[in-house]
């Protein structure tokens, strides 16, 4: 497994959803690749920050978003 493949499997790794043979390859790579270990740490930190952000700022109800703002976003997407 190479560094690019490690990146593809990060979320499944964090969630404990890697098949056993993939997990073994992932672990072997991580033992020998300090940059991937650091990337995994930063990835975990990013997930944690995003979750905290979502908890502190719950999604707005569509009824709370001003209609002119919705229309402006839709118009901008068409361009």
For residue 27, pLDDT beyond 80? yes
Q: What pLDDT, in 10s, does the model give residues 34-69?
A: 999 999 999 999 988 887 776 665 665 656 777 888
At residue 49, φ and ψ (nearest 5 deg) are -65, -45
Report how far Cα 42 is from the mean position of its chain's Cα atoms: 11
The residue range of the domain holding 7 is 3-78
Residue 16 region, left (φ>0) first, then alpha (ψ -120 to 50), else beta? Answer: left
Mean pLDDT, to the nearest integer, of 22-39? 95
Q: Kindly report the average pLDDT of the chain as a whole number.
A: 85
With H, G, I as helix, E, B as strand and everything else as coil, classify residue 65: coil
**The pLDDT of residue 37:** 96
CA max distance for the chain: 54
Contacts of 30 (CB under 8 A, 6+ apart): 6, 36, 37, 40
- Output the pTM of the full model: 0.64
Stronger pLDDT, 70 or 22, i.e. the higher one: 22
Question: How many domains does the chain fold into?
Answer: 1
């Amino acid at each position: 497994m190479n560094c690019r493949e490690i990146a593809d499997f990060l979320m499944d790794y964090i969630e404990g959803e890697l098949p056993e043979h993939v997990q073994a390859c992932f672990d072997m790579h991580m033992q020998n690749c300090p940059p991937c270990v650091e990337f995994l740490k930063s990835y975990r930190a990013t997930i944690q920050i995003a979750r905290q952000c979502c908890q502190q700022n719950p999604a707005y109800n569509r009824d709370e978003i001003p209609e002119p703002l919705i229309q402006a976003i839709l118009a901008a997407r068409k361009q």
